[in-house]
Structure 1
Amino acid sequence: MTNGDDVPDPRGGPRDAVVWFLRTDNGAVLFVREAGSSALTVAMVGLLLFAVSGVWPPLVAVESGSMQPNMERGDLVFVMEEQRFAPEYATGDTGVVTREVAAEHDYRQFGGTGDVVVYQPYGSAAQTPVIHRVHFWVEDGENWYSKADPEYVDADGCEELRNCPAPHAGFITKGDNAVTNDYYDQTRGISSPVKPAWVKGTAEYRIPYLGWVRLTFAGTATPVSAVEGSSASTNGTSAALSPVT
Structure 2
Amino acid sequence: MRITAENLRKIFSRCKKIADKLPPVIVEFVSAVLILGIVMGGIWIYSGQPFPGSPPLVVIESGSMTHENEPFGGLGTIDPGDIVLAKAVHTRGDVITYASTKSYRTYGNYGDVIIYKPLGRTDLTPIIHRAMCWVEYNANTDTYTVEEYNIINATSITIPELHLYNYKPAHSGFITKGDHNLYPDQHPDAQICREPIEVNWIIGKAQGELPWFGSLKLMLSKNEEGGWGASEVPGDSWTCLIISIVILLSIPLSLDIRDYLRERKSK
Give the TM-score taking structure 1 as reference length.
Answer: 0.66
RMSD: 2.5
Q: Is the 8 A contact 1:133 1:173 kept in 2?
A: yes
Secondary structure at 2:186 match in 1? helix
1:10-47: CA deviations, max 9, x gaps? xxxxxxxx988633465xxx544433332222121111
1:107-136: CA deviations, max 9, x gaps? 211111111111111111111111100111
1:90-114: CA deviations, max 9, x gaps? xx744111111123xx221111111
Secondary structure at 1:200 match in 2? strand
Secondary structure at 2:157 match in 1? coil
Secondary structure at 1:36 match in 2? helix
CA 40–216 in structure 1, closer or farther in 2 if over 3 Å, else same:
farther
Gaps of 5+ in 2: 1-14, 68-76, 145-154, 224-228, 234-267
Secondary structure at 1:222 match in 2? coil
Distance 2:83 2:26 in 1: 29
Q: 1:197: how far off? A: 0.7
1:123-160: CA deviations, max 9, x gaps? 111111111001111123535532341xx42x7x41xx
Out of 213-222 and 114-123, give the one that drifted further: 213-222
What is the one-letter code of the residue matched to 1:194?
I
- Residue 78 of structure 2 is matched in structure 1 by 71
CA 42–171 in structure 1, closer or farther in 2 if over 3 Å, else same:
same
- Residue 9 of structure 1 is matched in structure 2 by none
Give the TM-score taking structure 2 as reference length.
Answer: 0.61
Q: 1:59: how far off? A: 1.5
Gaps of 5+ in 1: 1-17, 84-91, 159-163, 226-245
Distance 1:144 1:208 in 2: 41
Residue 147 (1) aligns with residue 159 (2): yes
- Residue 114 of structure 1 is matched in structure 2 by 111
- Residue 183 of structure 1 is matched in structure 2 by 183
Residue 136 (1) aligns with residue 169 (2): no
- Residue 199 of structure 1 is matched in structure 2 by 202
Q: How many residues are matched?
A: 183
CA 40–219 in structure 1, closer or farther in 2 if over 3 Å, else same:
farther
- Residue 222 of structure 1 is matched in structure 2 by 230
CA 183–52 in structure 1, closer or farther in 2 if over 3 Å, else same:
same
- Residue 170 of structure 1 is matched in structure 2 by 173
Higher relative contact order (CA 8 A, sep 6+): 1
